[in-house]
Chains A and B, each alone.
Chain A
């Protein structure tokens, strides 16, 4: 049931963005919003706190996005928060991004990097992922220094983890398990 609701909200976002003919910008902005909500505990708690009035929570959205993001993006996020679905905002935006990539016959790849990727690296990575998965892949890159170095790419349910953080964790596990 929750999956159906997320699909419906994702489809609604996609249709609105498509109707506003601002799909590419909304994609980038919603992707950024999803990352911020996922990485910022205080923001996530504020948006999902049902004890706070809806207007106050929507005011937080206006304060964060007003003037920085397109009105379409701001209104869509405000609509999700106003409907009390802020806890599912990450999944809803992910579904929206999948639908958006699907409309271009592309598959969405969420890439996490410790440092920003330049255009050449993004093109080569998109090409490599397209070759590996057999269809065109579009990238959404998140910069997360906590992975220390390397890259993490997630396409659908497949995660390719080449981060330094994961390699260090694997090394630690091996050292603890070896006796």
Chain B
């Protein structure tokens, strides 16, 4: 820093002399004007031709980022929707599986009840048939016994009749018949 002041101090007499001699550091006025004009032209050119592309690039980038953000948001929303859908489907599947299990259980209960009912009916039918068979056999035995008893009784009666139906008895039967016919 002191060196800078020293240089400026040394330069001051030089500037004072500039009125008389040229300062190598301070540009000429016209050079300055030209420089300023050139800078202004440069600025204008920059504003005119350089800035819009940069601005557009920035805007494009901003827009791309915004689009990406929107897409990401949309993807997130979609993912959440799909997740929700999956959850719903999972819940439905669970409900369906529970329903199927309940139906299967009810069907099994019904099959069990039907089997029991059929078995009970079959047992009742067999029991009724056995009772009927017993009754039929009993009636047949009774009928056979009755027939045998009747046959034996008739045979005995015939033997008694043969033994006792002599001529006198037959004559009495004939006389009795004649009396009944005429009465």
Contact = CB atoms under 8 A, between A and B. Distances in A.
A115 B167 contact: yes
Interface in A125-179: 125, 127-129, 131-132, 148-151, 153, 160, 162, 164, 168, 171-172, 175-176, 178-179
Nearest to A121: B174
Contacts of B154: 168, 171-172, 175
A104 interface: no
Nearest to B167: A115
B166 to A, nearest CB: 10
B153 interface: yes
Contacts of B173: 149-151, 162, 164
Interface string A110-121: 000111010001
Contacts of B158: 168
A117 to B, nearest CB: 7
B108 interface: no
Going nearest first, the 4 A-B pairs with the smallest beta carbon separation are: A128-B182, A175-B150, A162-B177, A128-B181
Interface of B: 142-143, 146-147, 149-151, 153-154, 157-158, 161-162, 165, 167, 169-170, 173-182
